[in-house]
Amino acid sequence: MNYIKKLFLIIIGSISLFFGVLGIFLPLLPTTPLLLLAAACYVRSSEKLYTWLITNKYFGSYILNYRNGKGIPLKAKIIGVTLLWISLLYTIIFVIPLLIVKVLLFLTGSYFTWFILKQKTLQKTV
């Protein structure tokens, strides 16, 4: 039973990691929570995968800083919110014909903007 649990957590963590990476390019996918879920799954199932994730040059520092309560870098907040609204506004204006879907996209974007901006901003150390 322990083996099945570990395998399940590795699979869920890997799926979460995949969608977290995808979230870098697709603004409505929440990158940070998905990476944190991957880290939580890996820490309970595979020390090797967890170590790889938190020492990864692209994700590691974000995960460790967020988990340690240090926050998200200002640059990441700016890029995240900017890409979110560029893609949302394009979709709302040019792609989606239904008003209710446009409103739902706008409200979803507003929520994620609020969520990103309310997170503590990582202070640069000199």
Three-state DSSP at 122 gives: strand
pLDDT digits (tens, 9 = 90+) for 14-50: 999 999 888 878 766 777 778 888 999 999 999 999 9
- In terms of domains, do 66 and 78 share one? no
- In terms of domains, do 45 and 95 share one? no
Asked which of 49, 70, 91 is the last residue of a domain, the reply is 70
The beta strand positions in 1-126, using DSSP E, are: 72-73, 121-122
pLDDT digits (tens, 9 = 90+) for 52-100: 999 999 888 878 888 888 888 888 788 778 888 988 999 999 999 999 9
* pTM to 2 decimal places: 0.65
Domain span at residue 108 reads 72-126
- In terms of domains, do 14 and 50 share one? yes
Structure letter (DSSP) for residue 124: P
- In terms of domains, do 39 and 90 share one? no
Question: Cα separation of 100 and 52, whole Å?
Answer: 43
- In terms of domains, do 45 and 3 share one? yes
Residue type present at position 23 = G
